[in-house]
Amino acid sequence: MEEIIVTGGVRLEGSVKISGAKNAALPILAATILTSEESRIRNVPKLEDVGTVYRLLKGLGIRIEENGNGEITIDPSGLNNSEAPYDLVKTMRASCLVLGPLLARLGKARVSLPGGCAIGARPIDLHLKGLKSLGAEIKLEEGYINARARRLKGASICLDIPTVTGTENIMMAAVLADGETIIENAACEPEVVSLSEVLHSMGASISGAGTRLIKIRGVTELKGMNYSIIPDRIETGTFMLAAAITRGDIKIEDCIPEHIDHITARLRDAGVSIEEGEDWVRVKGSPGIRAVDIRTSPYPGFPTDMQAQMMVLMSLSDGLSVIMETIFENRFMHVAELKRMGANITVDGHSAVVRGVPSLSGAQVMATDLRASASLVLAGLAAKGDTTISRIYHIDRGYECIEKKLTRLGAKIRRIKGGELLRGS
């Protein structure tokens, strides 16, 4: 099993280009099911999770060609299967994003029910409730969701929680439904807006994405798309933290500063200097980090996907910070690992009290989920000595070429497999 070794203490400097957003790419790839025409998608990040969707779509009879440079061509004309098997869904919960499109296009879907996950129970009851409102008949049998519908019918759906993939699943089902669908309390994340743009370009009639109220008027068929995936705001935030934590100076290019407003605001509160351009941000770390409180919340609030990374910065602040996690009930798995590196953190229910320490020290730690693994890399960059991170496969799910990008900024980071060096620094 691969491990990453980070030798800390280097100030990171230079520029880095942000890759396409994982969470935008996944629903957009699923949306190709909605048409029989070919689509061309650009800026697709090379990630494990994207590979999982490719396997899933290929299993459905869809042809995918990688043209190089992050461009792919998808030909869904051979769609002949409606099953998302357990083996794929268990490695990536977002596989359930094919449920809405399969139902809309084929009138049936058999999708493995995702189980719990390291960060929380993560049910998909709201996806299913929404699809039932659109007229789908849904049965849970032998660990699978068996869904059927002749033609879905537009409906008014009010989500109890503004679920991101739930909103996306319902949007994709509703675009081919008969009549108007209204989604109230919809998720406003940029990835939802991006999916709406894609669906619009395919011929869907859809408005309100980015607000809590989305309106969709169903059409009978959709055409192929030609789209470039938006930059990853969580990767952007992670590199901003890398600059702040190492007191470095990094220009982060090909990003959308507006998507990270809340991260920028909190970092400025912490004393980090940030300059913004149209598609870049430049982050300069300062010697003293002020403690700030963080509360995760749906967009445009502070993203739960940046909570672990921000906790590392707060571990090195000059005071006491309270970090409240409001989205997932078990998203503090990284705390035990950060404590092994010398962080002073106490968890009480949904809050973590972080008392800043002057420095962290390298240790052997274990990644527990995708964003936790990024937080351990950040902690390693700031720590004295070597940090060895195991179960690093988590990071490959969501960060493209993380060691290469960090190495170019001056980091001492390398990947090993059973003692053998895979990529040097």
Q: What would the x/- binding string for ligand UD1 be over residues 256 to 295, using CB under 6 A?
A: ----------------------------------------
Q: Which is nearer to ligand UD1, 234 or 255 (CB)?
A: 234
In sign, the C-alpha dihedral spanning 207, 326, 236, 170 is: negative
Secondary structure of the chain: what % helix, strand, coil (to 5)?
35, 30, 35
Do β-strands 386-390 and 364-366 pair in parallel, antiparallel, or remain unpaired? parallel
Q: Which is nearer to ligand UD1, 227 or 328 (CB)?
A: 328
What does DSSP assign to residue 304? G
CB of 258 to ligand UD1, least distance (A): 17
Residues 6+ apart with CB under 8 A from 319: 290, 291, 355, 356
DSSP H or E stretch at residue 300:
none
Please give the residues from 385 up to 404 whose contact with ligand UD1 meets the rule CB under 6 A.
none
Residue in this structure with the two tokens 């619009």, named with its chain if needed: 200
Nearest to 379 by CA among 363, 368, 391: 363
- 305 counts as binding ligand UD1 under rule CB under 6 A: yes
Q: Which is nearer to ligand UD1, 12 or 306 (CB)?
A: 306
Please give the residues from 316 up to 345 whose contact with ligand UD1 meets the rule CB under 6 A.
327-328
Question: How many Å apart are CA 349 and CA 280, to the nearest integer?
Answer: 37
Per-residue HEC secondary structure of 250-275 comes to EEEECCCHHHHHHHHHHHHHCCCEEE
Q: Which is nearer to ligand UD1, 354 or 370 (CB)?
A: 370
- Which among 117, 158, 188, 255 is annotated as catalytic? 117
- 23 counts as binding ligand UD1 under rule CB under 6 A: yes
- 117 counts as binding ligand UD1 under rule CB under 6 A: no
**Chain mean position to CA 45:** 12
Let me know if 255 is a catalytic residue.
Answer: no
- 127 counts as binding ligand UD1 under rule CB under 6 A: yes
- Report residue 124 as tokens: 């998909």
Judged by CB under 6 A, which of 85, 107, 120, 203 binds ligand UD1?
A: 120
Judged by CB under 6 A, which of 4, 53, 111, 124 binds ligand UD1?
A: 124
Give catalytic residues, as residue numbers: 117
| Contacts with ligand UD1, residue ranges (CB under 6 A) | 23, 26, 94, 120, 122-127, 161, 163-166, 187, 191, 304-305, 327-328
